[in-house]
């Protein structure tokens, strides 16, 4: 099943206690696509400026990713982010953020992608997220991510979006900000009242929580002794989760649980190296192996 993702594509500079990488590929749609492409065919929609070196997309070579929705906009500059985890590996300090082309009009979804059944709206302005949905013919599962900025500045648009999606993925701080509930289960239940059928709260090193109409499911992170660069962990998680779901065709409790575990495994590869290197260093076989190891470890 085809999985459509729209989100940011950027040039990152990242500092962690383990080193610094300048001008590496990043962005929510990039991590998501790479992670999801271990499972299914991915359709990528995004926009970069003409300054973006073509070689940056070499990472997609040989992957099951259709970059037909990738626009290189003339006269524009690519989104750039410089973040530092030197003080706290759990939360990046943004040293500099240049939205550049992300502050302009959204990229267009090519007509050949209109029939996408699985859709992930990675974090961007909620009005743009809604715009993306308009052209889709018969989406089966729409999941969105969001962030503090939109919760605080575009709440009205965000609430409109929430009525149009099946699932919302956000982190613990964002869930608390959106609902003003401290307890995460209470916060998740509040989100459900806003529209989505399920919500996944990402808790970084503490794993994730799924809350649906009937179930609450909590999963720890895959135990990692060495975290090199947490950038993209949440997007890789979402990519693993959605990629697996797109191969299943049902969203039963057990299926979603297994999907969260795949998301957890994908995130564990991402944080083990800078930029996409962690994901590039693995394969489907290793992913399945780690998933089984995780499943085994979690049973008692």
Residue ranges in contact with its own copies by CB under 8 A:
89, 182-186, 189, 203, 205-207, 209, 215-221, 223-227, 254, 257-258, 260-261, 295, 297-300
For the chain, the distance separating the N- and C-terminal CA atoms, rounded to the nearest angstrom, is: 34
How far lies 137's CA from each of 45, 121, 124, 161, 195, in Å? 16, 16, 22, 17, 20
CB of 175 closer than 8 Å to CB of 264? no
Q: Decide whether 76 or 268 has the Cβ nearer to its own copies.
A: 268
Q: Decide whether 53 or 253 has the Cβ nearer to its own copies.
A: 253
Q: Decide whether 70 or 238 has the Cβ nearer to its own copies.
A: 238
Smallest distance from the beta carbon of 298 to its own copies, in angstroms? Answer: 5
Q: Decide whether 111 or 213 has the Cβ nearer to its own copies.
A: 213
Q: Decide whether 15 or 66 has the Cβ nearer to its own copies.
A: 15
CB of 119 closer than 8 Å to CB of 150? no
Smallest distance from the beta carbon of 181 to its own copies, in angstroms? Answer: 10
Smallest distance from the beta carbon of 36 to its own copies, in angstroms? Answer: 19
CB of 113 closer than 8 Å to CB of 69? yes
Q: Which of 180, 139, 133 is nearest to 157 (CA)?
A: 133
Eight-state DSSP code of residue 109: P
Smallest distance from the beta carbon of 185 to its own copies, in angstroms? Answer: 4
Rg (alpha carbons) of the chain, rounded to whole number = 18
Q: Which of 117, 111, 123, 296 is nearest to 222 (CA)?
A: 296
Sequence-ordered list of residues with C-beta below 8 angstroms from that of 52, at least 6 positions apart, any chain: 9, 11, 72, 78
Q: Decide whether 149 or 298 has the Cβ nearer to its own copies.
A: 298
Q: Is 108 exposed, middle or buried (0-12, 13-18, 19+ CB in 10 A)?
A: middle
| Angle between helical axes of 28-36 and 233-248 (0-180°, round to 10) | 40
Q: Decide whether 3 or 227 has the Cβ nearer to its own copies.
A: 227
Smallest distance from the beta carbon of 291 to its own copies, in angstroms? Answer: 10
Smallest distance from the beta carbon of 52 to its own copies, in angstroms? Answer: 35
Q: Decide whether 90 or 97 has the Cβ nearer to its own copies.
A: 90
Ramachandran angles phi, psi of 149, nearest 5°: -50, -50
Q: How many residues does the chain have?
A: 300
CA dist 127 and 156 (Å) reads 9
Smallest distance from the beta carbon of 150 to its own copies, in angstroms? Answer: 26
Smallest distance from the beta carbon of 91 to its own copies, in angstroms? Answer: 13
Other Cβ atoms within 10 Å of 51 Cβ, number: 13
């Amino acid at each position: 099943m085809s999985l459509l993702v729209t989100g940011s594509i950027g040039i990152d500079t990242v500092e962690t206690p383990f080193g610094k990488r300048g001008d590496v590929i990043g962005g929510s749609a990039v991590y998501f696509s790479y992670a999801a492409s271990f499972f299914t065919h991915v359709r990528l929609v995004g926009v970069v400026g003409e300054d973006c070196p073509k070689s940056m997309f070499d990472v997609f070579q040989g992957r099951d990713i259709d970059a037909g929705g990738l626009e290189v906009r003339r006269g524009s500059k690519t989104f750039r982010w410089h973040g530092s985890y030197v003080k706290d590996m759990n939360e990046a300090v943004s040293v500099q953020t240049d939205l550049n082309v992300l502050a302009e009009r959204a990229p267009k979804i090519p007509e050949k992608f209109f029939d996408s059944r699985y859709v992930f709206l990675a974090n961007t302005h909620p009005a743009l997220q809604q715009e993306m949905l308009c052209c889709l013919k018969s989406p089966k599962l729409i999941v969105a991510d969001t962030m503090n900025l939109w919760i605080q500045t575009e709440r009205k648009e965000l609430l409109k979006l929430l009525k149009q999606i099946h699932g919302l993925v956000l982190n613990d701080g964002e869930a608390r900000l959106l609902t003003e509930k401290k307890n995460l289960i209470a916060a998740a239940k509040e989100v459900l009242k806003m529209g989505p059928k399920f919500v996944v709260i990402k808790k970084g090193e503490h794993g994730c929580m799924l809350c649906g109409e009937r179930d609450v499911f909590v999963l720890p992170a895959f135990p990692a002794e060495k975290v090199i660069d947490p950038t993209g962990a949440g997007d890789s998680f979402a990519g693993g989760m959605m990629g697996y779901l797109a191969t299943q065709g049902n969203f039963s409790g057990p299926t979603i649980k297994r999907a969260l575990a795949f998301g957890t495994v994908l995130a564990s590869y991402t944080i083990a190296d800078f930029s996409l290197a962690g994901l590039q260093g693995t394969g489907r076989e290793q992913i399945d192996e780690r998933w089984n190891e995780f499943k085994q470890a979690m049973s008692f």
